[in-house]
Structure 1
Amino acid sequence: MLGASLGCGAALAAAQVEYPSKPIRFLVGVVPGGAADMLARAVGQRLAERLNTQVVVDNRPGANQTIAAQLTAQATPDGHTILIVPSAHAISPSIYRLNYDSVRDFSAIGMVAMVPNVLVVHPSIPARSVKDFITFARTKPGELNMGSSGTGSPSHLAGELFQMFTQTRLTHVPFKGQGAAMVDLVAGRLQAGFPSIPASLPHVKAGRMFALGVTPRHRSSAMPDVPTLEEAGVAGYEVNGWYGVLGPARIPKKIVARLNGEIVRMLEDPAMREMLTRAGADPLSSSPEDFSRIIAADIGKWAKVVKAAGVKVQ
């Protein structure tokens, strides 16, 4: 009993230490230069200003961003180690054998942005609408190549779900990252794909590919003239790509609330919102509780898609 009391006292004392008391380590599961890295650096810079401390972005790429997630799960839960996490975090439990639980081993801090995927096609494809593409794809089952940023990635599973909803059959071609897939789509070696808007936006603007439909149930501020896939006739289809911030489980609630509040306030800043929108993301904050529920719901959703599509990492 005495031991339990001492343990509780130590936890309470830790929670009452002034926060932050040292630099914050901000883990990113990709190499420098990508969308997640850009987002982490933008958020980190503003957190540093608001918390009056140094925020160090630590890139730990590999294994579909699970290396960075594992480091976060194992970190001391004092708010000085946090992670920028993509919606792939909710896919990984169905693809990999993880050394952590994607919900229980983390403290959800809050969402930062929605990063929609979009159905794009090469200009040689005789389709300028989702309906036209579905009709064309049905006449060529298995003949159209659909690129993705890797097996089990959001861009891959968005395409698998599309095929289930539309009774089409595309040949999946995985790449190591969205950039490589975009190169082959522009070159015409791929006919279609479901990349994120940040990855595809420059090519769409330049006419090197056509955007037919975005995957969420709301239009993207970066592509306001492009309908959602549901609007375009794929009833019930919805894929939400997102980024949020996590920390290790058992961070004191006061620290979680402090971090969440700072993220919410920074996303109200017009300059931050403009920067995210210009990059192809839609700023979106949330409570820690709502973010945790979104992760849990997406884990269940993608587990069903992975099983139905027979997805296996090569």
Structure 2
Amino acid sequence: MNTCARTLSVSVFASGLLAAGTATATAAWPERPITMIVPFSAGAGTDITARTVATCMESQIKGASIVVVNKPGASGDIGLSALAQSAPDGYTLGIVNTPGVVSIPIERSTKWSLDSFEFLGNVAEAPGTISVHADSAIRTIPDLVKAAKAAPGKVSVGTQGVGSAGHISMLLLEKSAGVELSPIPFQGAAPARTALLGKVIESTMANVDEAVVFRAGAPWRILGVMSDARSPVAPELPTFKEAGYDIRAGSMRGFAGPKGMPADVTARLSTAIKACADDATFRERAAKSYLPIRYLAPKDYMKSLQQLDASLRDLWKVKPWNQ
């Protein structure tokens, strides 16, 4: 065998070993616990969704152990930054919410963008709501608008931070009703709940699943939902559209990992998420949490995020949410 032939043979052999080694490494996955990052505080809807899906995924992926880690702050930017900068080895994934995963890079410089993630599938979509303390004189959506018009910039509204679902929902209400409100940022819906019940703030935004849970046994009044039709989890609640304000807002909740994960690991994670969205036990738990399920496959999920990105960039031109 000549020198060239020997070199080629060695190269092919080495390539084969490398490929075999890679296949063995990914085939053995997961060999250690998987971290699931939640970019918000414990106890609210996003956290509950993440923990419910994590439990389901452990039953779908042989040998998987998933540890949920809360990394709240900066409207989700801290947790999303941690996710984007994680090693793309399949051992870190996270729950991602709209509009934050889209709105944050529009409003500020970030270390990540939509292109920083491998989107694995969406599992739920909850419309936004606005609530007041049960003792409040504000009892309906028109009451809220009337109060805001009587005292521009004075009616306080709890949000999950600048550019969060709650903040964007509030801006849409301001635009539609021609009012000015006073946003008060919190590190999630749960701290805002505490502030509302303590009468520190006059109202607060929350997604419908969060709001329905929050009002259970508490002096809490939900004024309405920001969707085309009444929510199946709370059909007694009127829509803002019924009150004359055509507002659609809320939060999609899906899962992603850092860009560059092995294709087979990405496929296994995506398959597990779809299986969980279809799983009877998961659906039962979601129903008990008042979580509206809406599964989107990775490609459809990404397409929806891109459409939202275009829509929010249009909103930014007329009502930037960092001011």
| TM-score, reference length from structure 1 | 0.84
User: Is the Cα–Cα contact under 8 Å of residues 79 and 256 in structure 1 kept in the other structure?
Assistant: yes
| SS at structure 2 position matched to 1:250 | coil
Alignment correspondent of 2:193: 182
Amino acid at match of 1:211: I
Find the residue that maps to 1:116 and give its secondary structure. Answer: strand
Matched, 1:114 2:125: yes
Matched, 1:298 2:289: no
- Where do 1:130-145 residues align within 5 Å? 130-145=141-156
> What is the correspondence of 1:61-80 to structure 2 with a 5 Å cutoff?
61-80=72-91
* Match among 100, 109, 112 for residue 100 of structure 1: 112
Q: 2:51 aligns with which of 13, 18, 41?
A: 41
Matched, 1:89 2:98: no
**Is 1:147 equivalent to 2:158 in the alignment?**
yes
Match of 1:289 among 282, 296, 299: 299
1:160 and 2:148 aligned:
no
C-alpha deviation, 1:283, in angstroms? 1.8
> How far is 1:241 from its partner?
0.6
Counterpart of 2:4 in structure 1 is none
Deviation at 1:245? 0.5
- 1:158, distance to aligned residue in structure 2 (A): 0.7
Q: Matched residues in 1 for 2:84 and 2:20: separation?
A: 21
What's the offset of the Cα at 1:202? 4.0
Deviation at 1:31, TM superposition (A): 4.1
Choose which of 8, 27, 37 in structure 2 pairs with 1:27.
37
How far is the alpha carbon of 1:164 from its aligned partner?
0.2
Q: Deviation digits for residues 51-76 of structure 1, max 9, x if unmatched?
A: 11222323333333323323332334
Distance 1:10 1:83, change over 3 A: farther
The Cα of 1:15 is off from its aligned counterpart by 6.3
What is the CA-CA distance between 1:203 and the residue it aligns to?
A: 4.3
Identity of aligned residues (%): 24
How does the TM-score come out when normalised to structure 2?
Answer: 0.82
The amino acid across from 1:20 in the alignment is W
Secondary structure (helix, strand or coil) at the match of 2:278 reads coil
Which sits farther off after the overlay, 303-312 or 50-59? Answer: 303-312
SS class of match (2:115) = coil
Instruction: Show structure 1 runs of 5+ residues with no match.
Output: none
